[in-house]
């Protein structure tokens, strides 16, 4: 296990919960969403050995952060937005909307506790418009996983309809919620959420798919609506767009990146983007990275794409938390 400074956020959280004890950790878990519970549980399961020094450093860092945090002097809405953005990153938007605007949807929410294949089996025969509504309600990460298990012929049309969504009448959403409640045996609740989907939601989902799959879906959308496809693509953020980061944002991003992923990701990066990374590192770190790149043998394209998507997800999380600026080039990228 690496030193505390090299641990990822999820690893530090796992060590913290393991240090708290079973009852206290369970109490914390009760307040997390399904995706966070799954990720934390997996990270905790991988913690075969945690040294006393590591646990002490994690707890000390947690105490230090806690002592310097306060909600005094700012509005509660502002505090909630800031806190959730830092905690959930790019997933925070929909959660914030539901908390601050009173939205709830038990039938749709229950889908978030199911694995992707089970969700796909449940909804695969639905009309593309219904699929679009369901995918729009999910977090982009889960929606992209569900898409892998849906019939190819329906995904393109569903994503086109999702990109075209702006608002949904509460009655339609209530009806969908009730149908899902019957299928997964939950309790029905009233719905107030009306704003869902759109080109940004479609782009966020497509950003999380393999390049070949997202390109194929864009092609399907373009065949029916070229203008809509162009709007979705404008909202998508690709690895080469990191070249547009300002130096401060790039340095912040570098501090959060696992070195192994960076080496693999840069194997497929153009020279200007590599130089952008090198120029924002110390001379010694840049030399070590160059040596690692030269020593690294051939890497499969799929591995490069996976590593680049990992880095993009970190960048999007930092952008949502206000720690970096992905639109530093002058126009919104997301």
User: pLDDT confidence of 276, banded at 50, 70, 90?
Assistant: very high
The mean pLDDT of 152-157, rounded to a whole number, is 86
195 near 166, Cβ under 8 Å? yes
Predicted local distance difference test score (pLDDT) of residue 204: 79
Angle at 100 between CA 185 and CA 231, to 5 degrees: 85
The mean pLDDT of 85-99, rounded to a whole number, is 53
- Helix 199-206 to helix 211-224 angle, to the nearest 10 degrees? 150
User: pLDDT confidence of 81, banded at 50, 70, 90?
Assistant: low
Rounded to whole angstroms, the Cα distance separating 221 from 325 reads 29
187 near 181, Cβ under 8 Å? yes
* Residue of 278 and 137 predicted with greater confidence: 278
- The DSSP bridge partners found for residue 167 are 195
Has residue 154 got a pLDDT over 70? Answer: yes
Rounded to whole angstroms, the Cα distance separating 40 from 12 reads 10
Has residue 73 got a pLDDT over 70? Answer: no
Whose CA is closest to 44, among 22, 66, 70? 22
140 near 172, Cβ under 8 Å? no
Where is mean pLDDT largest: 96-105, 224-233, 315-324? 224-233
* Residue of 279 and 33 predicted with greater confidence: 279
The mean pLDDT of 282-287, rounded to a whole number, is 91
Has residue 277 got a pLDDT over 90? Answer: yes
The mean pLDDT of 218-224, rounded to a whole number, is 87
Has residue 306 got a pLDDT over 50? Answer: yes
Rounded to whole angstroms, the Cα distance separating 82 from 227 reads 35
Domains for the chain: give ranges and CATH numbers: 4-67 (no CATH), 103-235 (1.10.220.30), 239-320 (1.10.220.30)
pLDDT per residue as tens digits for the range 156-204: 888 988 888 776 666 777 777 777 777 665 433 433 434 556 887 788 7
The mean pLDDT of the chain is 75
Rounded to whole angstroms, the Cα distance separating 231 from 226 reads 9
Has residue 71 got a pLDDT over 60? Answer: no
pTM (two decimals): 0.45
């Amino acid at each position: 296990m690496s030193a505390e400074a090299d641990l990822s956020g999820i690893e530090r959280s796992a060590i913290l919960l393991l240090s708290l004890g079973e009852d206290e950790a369970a109490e914390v878990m009760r307040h997390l969403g399904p995706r966070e519970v799954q990720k934390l549980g997996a990270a905790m399961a991988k913690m075969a050995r945690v040294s006393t020094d590591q646990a002490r450093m994690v707890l000390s860092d947690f105490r230090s952060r806690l002592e310097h945090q306060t909600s005094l002097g700012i509005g509660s809405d502002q505090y909630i937005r800031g806190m959730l953005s830092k905690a959930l990153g790019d997933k925070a938007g929909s959660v914030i909307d539901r908390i601050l605007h009173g939205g709830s949807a038990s039938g749709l929410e229950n889908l978030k506790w199911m694995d992707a294949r089970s969700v796909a089996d449940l909804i695969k025969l639905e009309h593309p418009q219904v699929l679009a509504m369901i995918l729009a309600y999910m977090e982009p990460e889960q929606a992209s996983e569900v898409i892998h298990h849906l019939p190819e012929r329906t995904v393109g049309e569903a994503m086109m309809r999702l990109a075209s969504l702006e608002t949904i009448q509460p009655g339609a959403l209530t009806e969908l919620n009730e149908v899902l409640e019957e299928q997964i045996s939950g309790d029905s609740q009233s719905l107030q959420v009306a704003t869902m989907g759109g080109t940004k939601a479609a782009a966020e989902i497509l950003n999380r798919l393999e390049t070949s799959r997202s390109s194929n879906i864009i092609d399907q959308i373009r065949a029916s609506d070229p203008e809509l496809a162009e709007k979705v693509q404008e909202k998508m953020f690709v690895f080469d767009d990191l070249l547009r980061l300002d130096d401060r944002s790039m340095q912040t991003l570098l501090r959060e990146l696992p070195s192994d992923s960076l080496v693999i990701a840069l194997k497929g990066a153009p020279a200007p983007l590599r130089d952008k990374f090198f120029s924002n590192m110390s001379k010694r770190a840049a030399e070590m990275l160059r040596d690692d790149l030269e020593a690294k043998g051939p890497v499969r394209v799929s591995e490069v794409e996976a590593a680049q998507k990992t880095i993009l997800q970190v960048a999007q999380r930092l952008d949502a938390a206000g720690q970096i600026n992905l639109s530093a080039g002058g126009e919104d990228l997301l």
